[in-house]
Amino acid sequence: MARRVHVPPEAVGNLIRQAYEAGGRYQWAREAWRNSEESGASVIHFGIEEQAAESQGVLRRTIMDDGSGMAPDDLLVFLSSFGGGGKPIGVDGNFGQGFKSSVLPWNPYGVVVISYTETEPDGYMVWIRREGDSYTFREWDVYAEDGESYLGRQDVVPPYEDEEHGCHWGRIKPDWMTHGTIMVLLGASERSDTWMGDPEPARNESVDGLVRYLNGRLMDVPVRDSGKRVETTVVDLYRKGETGRRDTKDKTVRLPDGGSVVWRPRRVYGMRHYIPGTPLSGEVIVDEHGTVAEWFYVAEPDAPVKGTNDYIEQHPVVVVDYQGEAYHADHSKSRYRQFGITDEIKGRTWLILRPPVFSDNRPTEWGVLTQASRHILMAKGGAELPWDEWGDAFFDNFPEQLKQALEEARAQGSSRSESSMGKNLSRILDRLNSRFKASRMVTTAAGNILGVPAGSVVAVAGKRPQQGGGVRGTSSGKSDSPSKRILLPARSGTTPGTTALMRGGYPAFVWESFDPKEAKFLARYAQNETQDVDGVEHRGVVHLNATHPVFQQEFNYWSENVWPKATAENVSRLVQRVYGEEAVAHVVHAQSLNGTLVARTENGEAVAIGREDVSELLTPQALSAALLGLVNVEQRILTQGGGLFGSRSNAQ
């Protein structure tokens, strides 16, 4: 018989620890909830064990459900198999390690699992704990019913009275359960409190955090055939008589020290429950694989999030919906800007992406899958999620209602650009287009080089753009030549192409005050943002930080030392215009490099500048560095200012 691959028992502890570290905060709760939901439960209850609380003052977290339960042999399989547990294992299903790896490392004293089935209504229990570097089942001496005949040591036993731990394990079972499973988290010792979650300081878990996590992790709580949603509750507690707490009908438990605590159940509904109902919503297909971007915009005066901070974070997010769970939830400005959702409407816009799920049953089709830790998603082949592609496609098909909301939000603010910007940018475009051309691969049916799309569309060099609409990547007008898509050379490419001299379009620029999180930068570039200047819509906007000390020093220098007799506002406007044009020039030049052939390897393979390389040249850090120490800018300000305000010597 051929030798089989196996995991040595002594290695399991390390595998569990590695999986635990790869997971995130409250991962144990996600795994427990998912196991219960897959068992057919209609009730999932994160409770606190009452008997030990009353007898010993120990507050242990329990997880109960009314699912199908597990037979005695299944209990052992569930907890003893790293990479199993009775359910199918696959990239789009169970990995067979989640609950064990997420809960055992912070419960070395043990986890007790008690389960009831229709055929075993009295239930059986197991106790798994850590011994050294491995995990073992606790064994009990078992006697016959006469109490004298010794039957040996067993690791699966009926629930029993346990004075040492202050409870009868069989009495934990609630009235609403006839069959199902109970898990009791014992922590690091017989006297450990586990109701707050993982005690690891770096994880900083709490009951508030657990409720927010579940509401933010579950997209929605499923509905059973009965028409009712799975009832998911988390028990919190507080001292009776605690300041600020009202009288309640919730259960009160007296502790050995004479004090009392109140059991407070808190309901979990899932993220969608907290998105306010709004008529401003829709869907956009954002890739060739059918990924859907569902968006919601909550207009004033409604709050953008239903519920309080006790139940869910108080801001909309961009999130990926993977099999009913939320991954990569992000409310950062940079994530929203990828989709053209600018700061004016970011705080009122929800965006839910639903890509196809990669499956073993469809191995040739693109999709996304989760890592074994179920903490992050990746695309087929281990690639990162195509955020830029999704963002560009959403922006190219930007919803009209969302665009109108953005325009209304901007109209309420101050003017963001001067009236002469379009004329000035048209002038520099003519100068830059002839210079910022590069040899790049572009699509052509007769091409003899294979590549993959680089994500940009450009116009053929030498063709003067006309006023009117816009080619994607430009904003100056419609080209009288067909647009072509840039390619990156690749052996695995399927799109034919050839080399050609190409040019790109140009963005607008605006001056504004950056918020504290971005105040250290001189500039940032938002590719998927539009700006209307003199009736022309520019795709891409360079934002310049008007309050940055570098620019403030420039404004003061030119207005106080060079042209003190001129109006300071007019001098500052000149400085802003020249720096803005310079920033636009950096962006145009960087974008024109996308797909540029820069070398060939010894094997003759083409080496090209790709989209990620260009993105690095346009980060806030790179743009800020590019705007420092510009001697040519100083000369342009002096030359143009001389015509407006007089010569430097006359001014002084």
Residue 557 pLDDT:
93
pLDDT in tens, 150-185: 878 999 999 999 999 999 999 999 999 999 999 999
- The CB-side HSE value for 125 (13 A sphere, CA atoms) comes to 24
pLDDT mean over 539-567: 91
Give the dihedral sign, CA 15/17/21/24. Answer: positive
* Higher-scoring residue by pLDDT: 642, 339: 339
> Is residue 377 within 8 Å of residue 327, measured between CB atoms?
yes
Angstrom distance (rounded) from CA 139 to CA 128: 10
* Confidence bin at 363 (pLDDT 50/70/90): confident
* Higher-scoring residue by pLDDT: 95, 118: 118
Angstrom distance (rounded) from CA 351 to CA 429: 35
Question: Which amino acid is present at 64?
Answer: M
Within the chain, all domains assigned CATH 3.30.565 are found at 9-271
349-354/292-297 β-pairing:
antiparallel
* Confidence bin at 113 (pLDDT 50/70/90): very high
pLDDT mean over 36-51: 95
Length of the chain in terms of residues written:
652
Residue 42 pLDDT:
96
> pTM of whole model > 0.85?
no
Angle ∠(278,282,283) on CA atoms, nearest 5: 150
296: three-class secondary structure by DSSP: strand
pLDDT in tens, 206-255: 999 999 999 999 999 999 988 899 999 999 998 776 544 455 568 888 89
Cα distances from 72 to residues 69, 98, 99, 135, 173, in angstroms, run: 10, 21, 18, 19, 17
pLDDT in tens, 320-334: 999 999 999 999 998
Secondary-structure class of domain 9-271 per CATH: alpha beta
Residue 439: pLDDT over 50 = no
Most distant pair of Cα atoms in the chain: their distance: 115
Q: Which of 49, 45, 46 is nearest to 167 (CA)?
A: 49
pLDDT in tens, 123-156: 999 999 988 878 889 999 888 777 677 878 999 9
Q: Which of 144, 310, 357, 117 is nearest to 211 (CA)?
A: 310
Average pLDDT, the chain: 83
* Confidence bin at 492 (pLDDT 50/70/90): low
Range scoring the smallest mean pLDDT among 91-95, 422-426, 473-477:
473-477
